[in-house]
Amino acid sequence: MRIINFLSGIQGVGAGAVATLDIPVGRRYHGIKCFVSGTFNAATSFDPAELVASVRLLCNGVVMRDLLPADVINISKLNNLVPSTANGELPFFFSEPWRASITGEEATSWDLIGGNVQTFTLEITFNSVSVTGAFAITNLAVAIQAEFDYGRNFGTDGKPLLSIIKQVRNTVNAPSGQSDIFPPNVQYPIQRIHFRVSANAVTSIEVYNNSVKVMEGLLAQLNTFYKNYRIIGTSFALSAVFDYTQQLTDALFVANNNLDLKVTLSGAATLTYIMEVRAPGFV
């Protein structure tokens, strides 16, 4: 049975501060949810995008998730899940409920049993002023809810098996028109890549794996295709969803560390891309 408990002990909650929580190890985690609230402009807000600058999850000091609040929410929306706007919900899914099977869902749970991880840390960086209107933020509060059990994931050899979805963002300056992006260090299977822009729009993408084209399409064409699999592509400026069948094994396995993303923009912008890769551990 999975257990749903709140976690206590978060330190440093305050406007402009970085709050941290040391999360107990020795469990298998299926997800973490943050619920945030604060006051600005004489009103209570439950909008994480107004109150929170970024969130990170680290295991043994290694960054496994590094996202803006909007990224966290949009990853949920992409998978047809809408976080609550009434209580400031920021959900981090380790076991992914949108997967095609229960086995596929639990395969990506974070198994922290057996001494493989000594520290599991949540970091929340709070805004000092609101995004809208730049009003001072006060009365910040956050509750952390964990979903976990004490099960293990084992491979066919009977040994513990880890398939950890790592989500990290990268930023480049992109010109108008088509440009090539060569993500570094792509040794792990890529489940999905999400793009957002500071201005203008992403209009199309071509993905080349070791010089072989494996995906292409205009934005509208890709989003229409994703609908067949209950994926809401409009959640980001554009998403390259390689595992659109919701099977973990349908990821993109990059050959010779040679991945070329040919992204076309309607105008120059700062382009952020979020890589969702499946790592064999907390690395």
Tens digit of each residue's pLDDT (9 = 90 or more) over 56-108: 999 999 999 999 999 999 999 999 999 998 899 999 999 999 998 888 899 99
Q: Are the C-beta atoms of 274 and 202 separated by less than 8 Å?
A: no
- d(Cα 66, Cα 54) in Å, to the nearest integer? 7
The mean pLDDT value for 34-61 works out to 97
Confidence at residue 101, expressed as pLDDT on a 0 to 100 scale: 86
**Percentage of residues of the chain with pLDDT beyond 70:** 100
- Residue 68's region, left for phi above 0, alpha for psi from -120 to 50, else beta, is beta
User: pLDDT tens for residues 134-173?
Assistant: 999 999 999 999 999 999 999 889 889 999 999 999 999 9
Q: How confident is the model at residue 185 (pLDDT cuts 50, 70, 90)?
A: confident
Q: Would you say residue 116 has pLDDT above 90?
A: no
pLDDT of residue 65: 98
56 in Cβ contact with 66 (< 8 Å): yes
Specify whether the CB–CB gap between 142 and 96 falls below 8 A.
Answer: no
Note the maximum CA span of the chain.
59
202-225 per-residue burial string, b: 16 or more CB within 10 A, e: under 16: bbbbbbbbeeeeebebebeebbee
| DSSP code for 101 | S
pLDDT tens for each residue of 221-242: 999 999 999 999 999 999 999 9
- Cα dist from 211 to 178, 182, 258, whole Å: 17, 12, 8
Q: How many whole angstroms separate alpha carbon 217 and alpha carbon 205?
A: 6
pLDDT on residue 184: 86
Give pLDDT, residue 244. 97
pLDDT score at 115: 86
Distance, CA of 125 to CA of 178 (rounded, Å):
34
All domains of the chain, ordered by start, with CATH? Answer: 3-149 (2.60.120.730), 164-279 (2.60.120.730)
The secondary structure of 1-13 as a DSSP string is: --EEEEE---B--
Closest CA to 241 of 31, 72, 78, 66: 78
